[in-house]
């Protein structure tokens, strides 16, 4: 739903031996009314009976662990359980990067991530757009490096959980993702030969501790790359094949070191996680964590808002690609999104099946079975995580909306897509899998309030 930058809802979540939603714990004893009996005649006996009845009612209410405001169906409790951050587990291992667990690789990657020399003008580092004090993004509608990029900067926390990276999914690993911006004309604006020479001069010892000896590179030109300017491409083509392969190997390893550092960045638990845990345990503490408005927003998120259709799992993302009719910045040249991204992915020399990957072919299932000609991918963009989304305005793939309320208004309006076909139900249309989203102004405010409960700390592992 909301763009700024897993898994589907689970089916478990209730503790065995507990009655859910207003029922008392099955393992707790029933209230003993006999303890309240008194021996009194006439009217006093009637008063005593009333008192006993009142105390019994109060005791039953005390045992009720979920007040009516927080009553959920068993299916909804299961969904809430699946959305807890702890369900994400640790960052999944990437078989294409054999070095991501090495402490020395993390240290090298951190240094490279913050080095502005890895840019054409010496002013742009990865950290320039992925700033630690801004959720590892930049708060701009579109990324700003050497020039202005086409899309919004996505944060890197938890990115290892996604099989495809960038808004269009043109990369399939953290390390290959790290390489793209380095040679992008609007981002770092450099080229791989210059970066490899920089590493030789300033990071040779650190590199060799992680990856072993540098390959024979021969005498390298100052600037060359198959992805650079026309002049750089010509120089690259004139290089000896062994030199080109050696440069590619070192360049790929630079990406693997950066990925090792990025894997140390993750989301911390939010108020929503504490609420979900309290709900699963049915201990009644949830009402102390979220306000009535926030709970109303959560209920809408799971029901008529249909947000959970795409924003599910512990990172609140299905990691898939959807066309939701978000207006392009330029209607005469709309962004083709995943349709172009998948072409770039399949042609990428640094993908999971490429020669610089450490994975075996059978470990690259996501890439091998990617849909290459699906018309639904036209103008489709990756579902971003909603973790910490309130702190990441503006929203969508090119910062089209300034506030969460504007995003929700877009979904409620459900405009037709300028390019491709929107998955959102249009007025009068009947979709097999979803209905039109109908949210009032007050309901939009409620959902936006709930989204604010997803904010938690950013965790950097030591």
Give mean pLDDT, residues 41-66.
41
Say whether pLDDT at 64 is over 50. no
The pLDDT value recorded for residue 430 is 63
SS3 assignment, position 47? helix
Give mean pLDDT, residues 345-370.
97
Same domain for 297 and 401?
yes
Same domain for 13 and 159?
no
CATH code where residue 80 lies: 1.10.760.10
Residue 462 included in any domain:
yes
The pTM score is 0.84
Same domain for 442 and 384?
yes
Give the separation between CA 421 and CA 440, rounded to whole angstroms: 25
Least confident of 38-52, 184-198, 235-249: 38-52
Same domain for 7 and 85?
yes
Same domain for 108 and 180?
yes
The pLDDT value recorded for residue 27 is 35
Distance linking the first and last C-alpha atoms of the chain: 33
137 DSSP assignment: B
The pLDDT value recorded for residue 369 is 93
Residue 321, strand partner residues: 382
Same domain for 147 and 285?
no
The pLDDT value recorded for residue 66 is 54
Same domain for 216 and 289?
no
Which pair of structure tokens corresponds to residue 81?
């359980």
Say whether pLDDT at 50 is over 50. no
Domain C-terminal end among 222, 240, 262: 262
Binned at pLDDT 50, 70 and 90, residue 118 comes out as: very high
* C-alpha radius of gyration, the chain, whole number: 27
Same domain for 433 and 454?
yes
Q: Look at residues 239, 207, 208 and name the one whose alpha carbon lies nearest to residue 223.
A: 239
Domain C-terminal end among 262, 290, 313: 262
SS3 assignment, position 460? strand
Same domain for 258 and 273?
no
Residue 39 included in any domain:
no
Which sign, positive or negative, has the C-alpha torsion 103, 104, 105, 106? Answer: positive
Q: What is the number of domains present in the chain?
A: 2
The pLDDT value recorded for residue 45 is 40
* Cβ contacts of 451 within 8 Å, gap of 6 or more: 2, 297, 386, 389, 390, 404
CB atoms within 10 A of CB 190: 26
pLDDT tens by residue, 163-181: 999 999 999 999 999 999 9
The pLDDT value recorded for residue 244 is 98
DSSP string for residues in 146-190: SSB-SSPPPP-TTGGG-SSBSTT--BSSHHHHHHHHHH-TTTT--
Binned at pLDDT 50, 70 and 90, residue 326 comes out as: very high
- CA dist list (Å): 290 to 294, 297, 309: 6, 10, 22
Same domain for 114 and 175?
yes
Give the separation between CA 357 and CA 255, rounded to whole angstroms: 11
Residues 93, 94, 98, 99: what is their CA dihedral angle, to the nearest 10 degrees?
-70
Same domain for 388 and 448?
yes
Say whether pLDDT at 19 is over 80. no
Q: Which helix (H) or strand (E) holds 458?
A: strand 458-460
pLDDT tens by residue, 391-442: 999 999 999 999 999 999 999 999 999 999 999 987 666 654 678 899 999 9
Peptide bond before 394: cis, by omega within 30 degrees of 0?
A: yes
The residue segments making up the domain with residue 164 are 103-262
Residue 194 included in any domain:
yes
């Amino acid at each position: 739903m909301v763009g700024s930058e897993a898994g589907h809802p689970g089916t478990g979540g209730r503790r065995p031996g507990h009655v859910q939603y207003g029922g008392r714990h099955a393992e707790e004893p029933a209230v003993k009314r006999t303890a309240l009996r008194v021996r009194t005649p006439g009217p006093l006996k009637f008063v005593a009976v009333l008192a006993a009845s009142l105390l019994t009612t109060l005791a039953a209410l005390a045992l009720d662990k979920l007040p009516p405001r927080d009553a959920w169906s068993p299916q909804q409790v299961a969904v809430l359980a699946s959305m807890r951050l702890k369900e994400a587990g640790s960052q999944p291992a990437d078989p294409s990067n054999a070095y991501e667990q090495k402490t020395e690789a993390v240290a090298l990657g951190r240094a490279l991530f913050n080095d502005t020399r890895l840019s054409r003008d010496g002013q742009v580092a990865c950290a320039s757009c992925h700033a630690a004090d801004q959720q590892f993004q930049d708060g701009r509608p579109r990324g700003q490096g050497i020039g202005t990029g086409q899309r919004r900067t996505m944060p890197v926390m938890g990115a290892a959980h996604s099989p495809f990276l960038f808004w269009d999914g043109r990369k399939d690993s953290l390390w290959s993702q790290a390489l793209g911006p380095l040679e992008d004309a609007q981002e770092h604006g450099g080229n791989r030969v210059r970066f490899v020479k920089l590493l030789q001069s300033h990071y040779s010892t650190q590199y060799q501790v992680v990856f072993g000896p540098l390959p024979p590179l021969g005498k390298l030109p100052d600037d060359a790359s198959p992805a650079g300017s026309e002049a750089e491409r010509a120089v690259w083509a004139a290089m000896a094949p062994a030199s080109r392969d050696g440069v590619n190997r070192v360049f790929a390893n630079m990406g693997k070191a950066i990925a090792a550092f990025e894997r140390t960045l993750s989301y911390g638990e939010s108020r929503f996680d504490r609420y979900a845990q309290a709900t699963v345990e049915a201990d009644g503490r949830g009402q102390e964590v979220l306000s009535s408005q926030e709970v109303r927003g959560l209920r809408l998120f799971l029901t008529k808002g249909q947000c959970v259709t795409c924003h599910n799992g512990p990172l609140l993302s299905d990691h898939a690609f959807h066309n939701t009719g978000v207006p392009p910045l330029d209607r005469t040249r709309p962004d083709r999104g995943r349709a172009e991204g998948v072409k770039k992915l399949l042609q990428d020399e640094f993908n999971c099946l490429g020669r610089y990957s450490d994975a075996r072919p059978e470990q690259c299932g996501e890439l091998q079975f990617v849909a290459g000609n699906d018309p639904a991918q036209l103008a489709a963009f990756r579902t971003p995580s909603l973790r910490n989304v309130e702190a990441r305005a503006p929203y969508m793939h090119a910062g089209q909306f300034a506030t969460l309320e504007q995003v929700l208004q877009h979904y409620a309006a459900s405009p037709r897509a300028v390019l491709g076909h929107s998955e959102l139900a249009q007025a009068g249309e009947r979709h097999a899998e979803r209905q039109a989203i109908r949210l009032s102004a007050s309901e939009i405010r409620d959902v936006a309030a709930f989204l604010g409960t997803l904010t938690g700390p950013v965790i950097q592992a030591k």
